[in-house]
Structure 1
Amino acid sequence: MTALDFTLLRPMWLLALPVLGIAAWWLAIRRGGLGDWQRAADTALLQAMTALGRVDNQASRGPLWAILTVVLISVVALAGPALERRDTLSFRNLDGVVFVVDVSGSVTEHSNWPQLQTMGRFGLASLGTRPGALIVFAGDAYVATDMTLDHLQLGQTFSLLDAALVPDRGSRPERALALAVQLLSDAQVIAGDVILLTDGAGLGPASLRETAAISELGARVSLISIDTPTAAFDTHARAGGGEVFALDQSETLLRWLQADARTRLEAQDYPLLFWKDMGRYLLALALLPLLLLFRRRPS
């Protein structure tokens, strides 16, 4: 591979070249080219203008070739001639947020469920350039939205959460946290956050082990309680290096995620294949033949 590797991004435009060639041939064999005034003007008027020396009987092919040149260059530019660049680095965000939401009946039927959803939306609003994911759980856990930068879709999915989403009865937060470990590992996130929204049911030794596993990956585990937090909330937050938030601490949650966001960029191990489209520069070059149409002839 050389430093000047070349390709066409939109080669189908070159199919217009045969049509352009036929059009050029047809215009070239016409008597008057682009300025066939003999057909357009009144014969008597044209004879009078000729007698006054106002008509040039020698038809100029300059405008014809200038316009054809412009069209030719434009077609080549639209075909997308591009040069390959292999010195361009690729980056990815190593900081992500996984929202883990308890959708068991004890949570979704709680009078504070709308406030819990509001807390989740505040968390989504703090993502910025960070990717986010959504895990839901009750008696089992499921990935509702994988790691994505489409925060709008993530918010729409979050607003549709209800008890019917997970058919399994019960509350197994350890399974949801295990899924969070898998998501963070697969995305190679080394500085993420896991936000657990729950009423505390099911928190115990198993969920504490998964919290520790998340912390070992470099991520933090914070909890949002739909009711008064129990001691288990504080235990999990300490193990996960996070915080416990009540429903009236939405601004605190937002500042926590924004101020302590550990956004990092890492150069990929492989180069990014990048093609620089040179078509725009060819379009600028196409303006030069047009200047010939505006040149003043000596009198």
Structure 2
Amino acid sequence: MMDVSLLRPFWLLLLPLLVVAALVLHRRRARLGDWEQVMDPQMLAALRMLGRVEEAGTGRRGLLALAAAALVAIALAGPAVERRDAASYRNLDGVVLVLDASLSATESEDWTELQTMGRFGVASLQSRPAALIVYGGDAYLATDMTADTRQLGLTLSLIGAETIPDPGSRPELGLTLAEQVLQDAQVLAGDVILISDGEGIGPAALSAAAKIAARGARLSVVTPQTSPSTETLARTGGGHLFIAGESEELAAFLGASGRERIEKQDYPLLFWADWGRYLLLPGLLLVLLLFSRRAA
């Protein structure tokens, strides 16, 4: 059985008012204009004999109008069911891992732990697609956005000191490329995970982090130990700071879908099929009945 939800429930506040109107109409026996109070009884009787007084018809028209209004109110409330194909929109909630493959990172004693956290995070993505960027003195797209996270995890485990030919550590290049990947994949509420030893973070990296946050994504940082630069970078990117060893925390963070953030950006119909429009058709038919006339 399908669960029905309301996208705009405040429209249902009109229903009690319509019920009150129906009760008032019924109490007054739905006599449009109260002709009994303003017309001579003999004249009214004569009009009834000639069939010029539609007492029952006016009552029916009033109820039809109220029923049509009730259907419109329910339609505007947006009764909806969850789309069966909602998973097809998962690319709107992707993850980009930006891995520091500079010599300062790959030759440090924390490199194995950083790789482990990266693979742990990839394994927790479930249906979320992901991409992998590696950087040193330059940045490269190792794996484009894909749902094959198992293969991505294998690729991540093969990154080493010989992977990047360019010396240096420029995280701003990796973050800029990550923002481009999100844009090309049309991701609305993604996550960028910078896995780094913290070297090279400066104003340029902070500027790239701000651009990522501005497009609705979050930048989080995985690093061996906290520092003012990594804390500032994560805060600027609107994400979290994870220390090496906090694998479960990172997995829980990445395992949570960005669906709530997507819905807050006025994209609820990506996940819900609004059936309200179909209620407008019977409401329109009721309105058309109001214009029907009995032949003279």
- TM-score range, shorter-chain basis? 0.5 to 0.7
C-alpha distance in 1, partners of 2:243/2:111? 13
Which residue pairs with 2:232 in the alignment? Answer: 235
Displacement after TM superposition at 1:173 (Å): 0.5
Superposed CA deviations along residues 173-213 of structure 1, whole A, max 9, x for unmatched, are: 00000000100000000100000011111101000000000
1:262 and 1:175 map into 2 onto residues whose CA distance is: 28
- Matching residue within 219, 240, 245 for 1:221: 219
Q: CA deviation at 1:249?
A: 0.7
Q: After the TM superposition, which residues 159-174 of structure 1 pair with which residues of structure 2 at under 5 Å, given as runs?
A: 159-174=157-172
Distance 1:262 1:245 in 2: 22
Gaps of 5+ in 2: 1-83, 263-267, 272-296
Matching residue within 108, 128, 143 for 1:110? 108
**Of the two, which has the highest radius of gyration?**
1
Query: How many angstroms apart in 2 are the aligned matches of 1:266 and 1:160?
Result: 40
1:258 aligns with 2:255: yes
Task: List runs of 5+ in structure 1 lacking aligned partners.
Answer: 1-87, 269-299
**Any idea what SS the aligned residue of 1:92 has?**
helix
Tell me if structure 1 keeps the 8 A contact 2:93–2:257: no
Given residue 150 of structure 2, which amino acid in structure 1 is its aligned partner?
Answer: L
1:168-187 map, 5 Å:
168-187=166-185
Point out the structure with the larger helix share: 2
**CA positional deviation for 1:89:** 7.2
Q: CA RMSD in A?
A: 2.0
Matched, 1:248 2:245: yes
Q: Is the 8 A contact 1:89 1:267 kept in 2?
A: no
Normalised TM-score (structure 2): 0.58
Residue from 200, 203, 210 that aligns with 2:201: 203
Per-residue deviation, residues 119-165 of structure 1 (Å, max 9, x unmatched): 00111011111100000000000000000001111011001001111
Moved over 3 A (4+): 88-91, 259-268
Which amino acid in structure 2 is aligned with residue 244 of structure 1? L
**After the TM superposition, which residues 69-88 of structure 1 pair with which residues of structure 2 at under 5 Å, given as runs?**
none
Pairing 1:140–2:122 present? no
Partner of 2:153: 155
Q: Distance in 2 between matches of 1:177 and 1:266?
A: 31
Say whether the 8 Å CA contact 1:121–1:155 is kept in structure 2.
yes
Aligned partners of 2:109, 2:196: CA distance in 1, in Å?
13
Q: Distance in 2 between matches of 1:133 and 1:254?
A: 16
Secondary structure (helix, strand or coil) at the match of 1:234 reads: helix
1:193 and 2:191 aligned = yes
User: In structure 1, how many angstroms separate the alpha carbons of the residues matched to 2:170 and 2:214?
Assistant: 21
Distance 1:160 1:262, change over 3 A: same
CA contact (8 A) 1:92 1:266 kept: no
Give distance in 2, aligned partners of 1:238 and 1:133: 22
Distance 1:266 1:176 in 2: 33
1 CA distance for matches of 2:206 and 2:163? 25
SS of aligned partner of 2:201: coil
Q: What is the SS of the residue equivalent to 1:195?
A: strand
Counterpart in 2 of 1:33? none
Within 2, Cα distance between the matches of 1:261 and 1:224? 19
Q: Percent identity?
A: 52
Between Structure 1 and Structure 2, how many residues are aligned?
180
Matches of 1:193 and 1:267, distance apart in 2: 19
SS state of the match for residue 135, structure 1?
strand
String of CA shifts for 1:35-91, please: whole Å, max 9, x gaps.
xxxxxxxxxxxxxxxxxxxxxxxxxxxxxxxxxxxxxxxxxxxxxxxxxxxxx9783
